[in-house]
Structure 1
Amino acid sequence: MTAPRLGLLLDVDGPIASPVTRTIAIPSIVHDLVALAAEGIPIVFNTGRSDAFIRSEVVAPLLAGGLAEGGRVHAVCEKGAVWCSIGPQYEGGMGELTVAEDLALPRDYADEMRELVRAEYADLVFFDETKRAMVSIEQRVEVPNATYLERQPEFDAKAMGALVRRGLGVRRLDDVRPAADGSVAWRIDPTIISTDVESDRSGKDLGAERSLELLAADGELPVAWRTMGDSRSDYAMADWLHANGHDVAHVDVRPADGVPATSYPVLTAPEGVIHDEAGARFLRDWTRAA
């Protein structure tokens, strides 16, 4: 069996789904993902989103767009805590879910965050009831992003306080490394449209590791990789692949945050082309290169 020319690890919000509509708003994205899968290109959606979101906003459009059986398409959700395979051979387009229960927050913490949203922030955000391990609070689509970002730190401080009050191990918001001693700890990860509360072992690097485990079970690993995301934390996918000896380049669809120094190439779209518009351009290029 010939190894695929390329493998894709794709963040969803930003490069695939519009951060405004939270849907795949550019039709060519679906067309090109279906075409790449038909060619045998492995595709893994490595995302903080829930499996329910992926089912409705990614898998459903792919099935409607003609995704065929036999494609090597998978989803790693909640930053490595939930994973499954994707294809029309599965009911609803998604295979059996695996959930890493050791990455799940205590239920009473989730209950407190749900009540906090209801009592103080219902005009700004909603509590994501579809998450199985992490806790996510997301900006309402009708709320201006600037309004959300202005109030986000206030909510994040209360979320952190609830962790501390329970005596749970807590890491700094900007410390994305797991605890050196292997102990369980939790962190707050703010994004441009949400706040995630998660295990410090979760992350796009864990998602990359899960992705290769899924792909190793269904065929040859690709010759080269492209990872794609819209935030600095998405670089962890390429970091992990590079550290484990894989040829990789990372696509940053929102480089305004600053492109860090890396040991691998970083690709960006022309100035002013960001998010799913940038993602669509790269997918089209990779499809045409077949």
Structure 2
Amino acid sequence: MPTRPAFALLLDVDGPIASPETRDVAPEIISLLLKLATAGIPVVFNTGRSDEFIKRQVMAPMMAAGMPSTLKIHAICEKGATWFTFDADGAGEIHVDQELAVPLHYADEIRELVTTEFDGHMFFDETKRAMVSVEQHIDADSFEYRDAQQQFDSAAMQAMGRHDLGVERLDVRQPDSSETIDYRVDPTIISTDIESVELGKDLGARRTLELLASDGVEPASWFTVGDSRTDYAMADWLAENGHMVSHVDVRPGDGIPSGKSYPILTAKDLGLGREVIHDHAGLAFLRHWHSLLG
């Protein structure tokens, strides 16, 4: 018979878990993640980050904090393009869906573009295996970065056109010569991801269910957690596929979508003020969920 925990956690990493300012994960967050997972609550990361980032910022601190030998954690990275499982001995095999990778010749051009024109504000993420990502330098001024990001995103779209690759960015669509769009330029508050349109937090949710099913785990319900509108795709997919789910938005200032079929929670539901966002809100919810275990 499958194991049926009361709920499972499907967590975006940047924002809810890792600080957008420092990229670090607070020790109490690491401790609570371990306590929840050890108590039988599935904890799965569903992120645009690379496996190297998860291994460095999440896995290593969990191991250092005393991860039980019987515990394993799944990580879906690059919005579903890569995934792996780790335990107290470290990371297992890294799986990569090469069919969803951005062409190498395009990645090479973007690397050169960042190095020659945008190095003062951002860097090329060499750890990505399928996506192409650039990220704000920690010491870069955020206002200046966002201006540079607009210029970079425009240059990235132009490069797509030169390679006859169809691309979209927000509401702008730029089809290839066969009128198709296979790629997306996706800006966040600290980065820009260039990726296959098939990638997304919904794909991460599907891979999560496959991994838990192989473990013989069928959660009775879910909490998905994110800090952007694209993170709602986790809850959308779970709800559309018959799962009971609530979504936690740790940065609701962008506006909460209407018409969703599932509950949407913010720090306000825990009696906290509007200023409690990002990993501070993530920490508050982890404390709350841990308290439910008795």
Residue 284 (structure 2) pairs with residue 284 (structure 1)? no
Quote how far apart the aligned CAs of 1:233 are: 0.2
Consecutive unaligned residues in structure 1, runs of 5 or more = 177-182
Change in CA separation of 1:142 and 1:239 when aligned onto 2, cut-off 3 Å: same
Deviations 1:163-183 (A, max 9, x none): 11111122343489xxxxxx6
* In structure 1, C-alpha distance between the alignment counterparts of 2:20 and 2:163, rounded to whole Å: 33
Task: Trace 1:132-211 onto structure 2 (pairs within 5 A).
Answer: 132-174=129-171, 185-211=182-208
* Alignment-mate amino acid for residue 76 of structure 2: V
1:74 aligned residue = 74
Task: Trace 1:14-93 onto structure 2 (pairs within 5 A).
Answer: 14-24=15-25, 26-89=26-89, 93=90
1:264 aligned residue = 262
| Alpha-carbon contact 2:13-2:46 (below 8 Å) kept | yes
* In structure 2, C-alpha distance between the alignment counterparts of 1:267 and 1:67, rounded to whole Å: 29
Deviations 1:242-266 (A, max 9, x none): 0000000000000000000111000
* In structure 1, C-alpha distance between the alignment counterparts of 2:130 and 2:10, rounded to whole Å: 21
* Alignment-mate amino acid for residue 265 of structure 1: P
* In structure 2, C-alpha distance between the alignment counterparts of 1:204 and 1:58, rounded to whole Å: 19
Quote how far apart the aligned CAs of 1:68 are: 1.4
Deviations 1:225-255 (A, max 9, x none): 0000100000000000000000000000000
Consecutive unaligned residues in structure 2, runs of 5 or more = 174-179
Percent of aligned positions that are identical: 57
| Alpha-carbon contact 1:41-1:72 (below 8 Å) kept | no
* In structure 1, C-alpha distance between the alignment counterparts of 2:287 and 2:36, rounded to whole Å: 10
Question: What is the root-mean-square deviation of aligned Cα atoms in Å?
Answer: 1.4
- How does the TM-score come out when normalised to structure 1? 0.94
1:12 aligned residue = 13
* Alignment-mate amino acid for residue 263 of structure 2: P
* Alignment-mate amino acid for residue 163 of structure 2: R
* In structure 2, C-alpha distance between the alignment counterparts of 1:206 and 1:249, rounded to whole Å: 18
2:176 aligned residue = none
* Alignment-mate amino acid for residue 156 of structure 1: D
Q: What SS is found at the alignment partner of 1:8?
A: strand
Task: Trace 1:221-232 onto structure 2 (pairs within 5 A).
Answer: 221-232=218-229
* In structure 1, C-alpha distance between the alignment counterparts of 2:181 and 2:170, rounded to whole Å: 15
Q: What SS is found at the alignment partner of 2:186?
A: strand
Equivalences, count: 280
Change in CA separation of 1:228 and 1:208 when aligned onto 2, cut-off 3 Å: same
Q: What SS is found at the alignment partner of 2:168?
A: coil
Deviations 1:16-74 (A, max 9, x none): 000000110x2210111000110111111000000000000010011111221333410
Q: What SS is found at the alignment partner of 1:171?
A: strand
Which of 115, 118, 125 matches 1:118?
Answer: 115
- How does the TM-score come out when normalised to structure 2? 0.92
